[in-house]
Amino acid sequence: MVYLTWNQLKDAIQNNKWQLFSRTKFVRTRYAHFKTWVLQNYPSVKDYILEKKLCHAKTEPMALLVNDFPYNLATEIDHAVIWCTSNDIDPSTPPPTLEAYQAFAATHFDPRFFETLLYVNPVEARTVPDLPHCHVFSRATPAARLLYDWL
């Protein structure tokens, strides 16, 4: 199993090599069980996410959540997702731009302490295609790691 390093992840994003993003067999199995349960209890995965995961964020246009089913990444890389909540309010609203996602991420990740990479999957690669979202990959900056080690 190949875990993407920061540089490999950066290269995959810059060159739109979304096929390199994969999940472990364990994570894929967990997702399959999760999806089966969700579809037995909700009309769709989108409905589940809006009702259970984003219920606190209805007044906000976006929400940042840890990815419950992360890609295979080196251990120092965290994987979160910015979910668009406004699309449910007005379906005619176009999805956010990458710049809008970046502006939102900047309010959560101080660049003094975190390096971030953002990526929006093409529609055909999305597990939840009908709810706009953006993957956020982050890791501590060298200064933050030094500070953590010092403390």
SS (H, E, C) the chain: CCCECHHHHHHHHHCCCHHHCCCCHHHHHHHHHHHHHHHHHCCCHHHHHHHHHCHHHCCCCEEEEECCCCCCECCCCEEEEEEECHHHHCCCCCCCCHHHHHHHHHCCCCCCCEEEEEECCCHHHCCCCCCCEEEEEEEECHHHHHHHHHC
Predicted pLDDT of residue 138: 96
Predicted pLDDT of residue 148: 62
Predicted pLDDT of residue 124: 84
- What is the side-by-side order of every strand in the sheet holding 114-119? 62-66, 78-84, 133-140, 114-119
Chunked mean pLDDT (size 10), the chain, 151 residues: 89 91 94 96 93 81 93 94 74 82 94 93 85 93 67 53
Sign of CA dihedral 146, 101, 66, 77: negative
Predicted pLDDT of residue 93: 72
Q: What is the pTM of this model?
A: 0.88
Predicted pLDDT of residue 145: 64
Alpha-carbon distance values, 90 to 44, 50, 128 (Å): 18, 14, 18
d(CA 134, CA 120): 5
